Chains A and B, each alone.
Chain A
Amino acid sequence: DADVTQTPRNRITKTGKRIMLECSQTKGHDRMYWYRQDPGLGLRLIYYSFDVKDINKGEISDGYSVSRQAQAKFSLSLESAIPNQTALYFCATSDLESRAFFGQGTRLTVV
């Protein structure tokens, strides 16, 4: 089983719909992250959390929200999806040496 699991792996949704991407990890790390990856733009940080009571905005948080339900679970929501949120989304955790471990990604298409 993967250490960092993202669901769903692929999703097509319509403009204006609310969607949640889920992430769970078995590594026991406190730090968790959501990134999006776009061709030509690389990985950009959306939100990060250093423990269940700590949530921080990243570089591109507008249009997104997160919930840290437990040490192992960190969800990303798009309240009203728009086409330019079409991207590959990655959840990650990191250890005390800041080595990040990524999930397999969620490919989201907003039509």
Chain B
Amino acid sequence: EDQVTQSPEALRLQEGESSSLNCSYTVSGLRGLFWYRQDPGKGPEFLFTLYSAGEEKEKERLKATLTKKESFLHITAPKPEDSATYLCAVQVVGSGYALNFGKGTSLLVTP
């Protein structure tokens, strides 16, 4: 059974304190791994897609990396506006184009 597990469930950081969020996956065949950001009361917003082990993508203070078993979302020198829930999702070969989401990591960055 395809599984996506995110850790930690919640993370509290001081402004400027860098850290990483983890997304581990067990799938029959990975077509792509996606990261989303969700603000309270809003729909998820696309951040990155990663397709193969060793791939990296960056956007402002965020950097996503991928291995054969997990992905990391590195947050460098976070600001309070980075506070949100970060969702990881996988697209599995042979399962159409729908995404299988993890439960998310709730990030709070305090001043």
- Minimum CB–CB distance from A4 to chain B (whole Å) comes to 7
Asked if A64 is at the interface (CB within 8 A of a chain B CB), the reply is no
> Does the CB pair A58–B98 fall under 8 Å?
yes
Asked if A74 is at the interface (CB within 8 A of a chain B CB), the reply is no
> Does the CB pair A102–B44 fall under 8 Å?
yes
> Does the CB pair A104–B42 fall under 8 Å?
yes
Q: Which of the segments B12-20, B53-61, B65-73, B101-109 contacts the partner chain?
A: B101-109
> Does the CB pair B34–A42 fall under 8 Å?
no
Tell me, in angstroms, the Cα distance from A75 to B99 when the chains sit together.
Answer: 19
* Contact with A105, one of B32, B34, B42, B45 (Cβ below 8 angstroms): B42
Contact flag A102-B45 (CB < 8 Å), given A41-B103, A42-B87, A42-B103: yes
> Does the CB pair A105–B102 fall under 8 Å?
no
Residue among A40, A90, A99 with most chain B CB within 10 A = A99
Contact flag A98-B42 (CB < 8 Å), given A43-B101, A58-B98: no
Residues of B within 8 A of A56 (CB): 96
0/1 interface trace, chain B 34-65, chain A, CB 8 Å (1 if under): 10100001111110010000000000000000
For window 91-111 of A, CB contacts with B under 8 Å fall at: 92, 94, 97-105
Q: Which residues of B contact A (CB under 8 A)?
A: 31-32, 34, 36, 41-46, 49, 87, 89, 91, 96-104
Leading 8 A-B pairs by shortest Cβ distance: A102-B43, A42-B103, A43-B101, A99-B46, A48-B98, A42-B101, A102-B44, A45-B98
